[in-house]
Structure 1
Amino acid sequence: MNKEQQIGILESLLFAAGDEGLSTKQLTETMEITYIEALNLLESLGEQYEKDASRGLILLELAGSFQLATKKENASYLRKLVNTPQTTSLSQASLETLAIIAYNQPITRIDVDEIRGVKTDGPIRTLVAKGLITDKGRAEGAGRAKLYVTTSEFLDAFGLSSIEELPKLSDPSTEPEQDEMDLFFDKFNRTEEE
């Protein structure tokens, strides 16, 4: 494998690592290269970003980890993106996942999967990206899974001042045409579509 291919792999790894970044030890183990080779690749990638003014990324080293970051010159555009209201509504899977988290928080993804009966990786990623849920610590025990909770953005989106204002769950023995919780989440989708 040539150096350009290695730089491409390095860039992919750094992108996938996100804010956590990667240490040189992780790079050497993952790419099966020496410490010196890892440093040389990091230096080459950093130089490529510096030399090409049209690139929107830079390579940062923070506390012994390397990560990709956006150039500060592009901050105003990133702010616009973050502050732009989302026009897409949530899928049924995302709404179900959000309801489970809201009523059972803090809860692990595995527990959400068990309640829904299907995997919820995608809906959880969507909800985190929209800022409606976040991870808040780790569960005790094997694996130390992330615990998910709703955010203040969730409360704002649903017009709640606290989680205690969530509609009460109906008794499963009585099956209304559409219970209060369904109406509540339908209201959210209508608001998002407007």
Structure 2
Amino acid sequence: MTNDPTIATDREPVVVDTDDVARRLEAILLIVEEPQSLVSLATAVSAPVPAVRQALETLVDDYDGRSGGPARGFELREVGGGWRLYVREEFDDLVSEYVGGQAPSRLSQAALETLAVIAYKQPVTRSQVASIRAVNVDSVVRTLLARGLITELFADAETGAINYGTTDALLEHLGINSLDELPHISPLLDGADEVAEGAEEGGRR
């Protein structure tokens, strides 16, 4: 990586340690669940947007092996207007097999409840599921993704939030042909629509 001490802005040049910005970005990107915009990342690492853009480009080159070293097993991609780390496609099967081998044979109660909310409210974002369940669902969503029971459908055009839905694997496990065959449990989810709508409005602010 290189240091560019004079990242240009509309005002006077700002001295920026690009290497330090890149390290800060890596720390944030390792824990985020959804693509992060340039502005969001710049705010998180307290650096100008041009410096963040330059650091991201440097990281992409580094991870892709264009900086002299070998390509990494992961890559940094811009998806839906935001940036996020992804496993390289060639290692998808490897990671799925590993995670699947580590997963318990039975889902926890928290995972079952989260899966039910996604099944009945899909497409739905992680924050909406968390609002309905009133708990953090990050780790549970990762578990359901690893088990192949849910999948990422699309990213919200405005917020970049990932919308999740169930997979055919869930239908197979339940022994049904379509989601229309799920039992009607709307009374058990009273208020869920209002909570979900509130989460959507909050995400737009």
TM range (shorter): 0.5 to 0.7
Contact 1:19 1:67 in 2 (8 A): yes
Across the two proteins, how many residue pairs are aligned to each other? 155
Q: Where in structure 2 are there 5+ consecutive unaligned residues? A: 1-15, 186-205
Equivalent in the alignment of 2:21? 6
Superposed CA deviations along residues 19-59 of structure 1, whole A, max 9, x for unmatched, are 62533x33333322223322332343234332221632344
**Residue pairs, 1:84-163, within 5 angstroms:** 88=104, 89-99=106-116, 101-102=118-119, 104-106=120-122, 108-109=128-129, 112-113=132-133, 119=135, 121=137, 122-133=139-150, 149-163=165-179
- Structure 2 contact 77–83 (Cα < 8 Å) conserved: yes
How large is the RMSD of aligned CA atoms in angstroms? 4.1
Give the gaps of 5 or more residues in structure 1: 170-194
Deviations 1:148-168 (A, max 9, x none): 653322101222212344468
Q: CA shift at 1:99, angstroms?
A: 4.0
In the aligned structure 1, how far is the partner of 2:22 from the partner of 2:79?
A: 20
Could you tell me the TM-score, scaled by structure 2's length? 0.52
TM-score normalized by the length of structure 1:
0.54
Identity value in percent = 28
Aligned CA distance change for structure 1 residues 45 and 81 (closer, same or farther; 3 Å): closer
Amino acid in the other structure paired with 1:13: I
Cα distance per residue 1:39-90 (max 9 Å; x no partner): 3323432343322216323444567644434446xx0x32243367555221
C-alpha separation between the residues in 2 aligned to 1:67 and 1:150?
22
Provide the C-alpha distance between the structure 1 equivalents of 2:78 and 2:117, rounded to a whole number of angstroms.
38
Matching residue's letter, 1:37: A
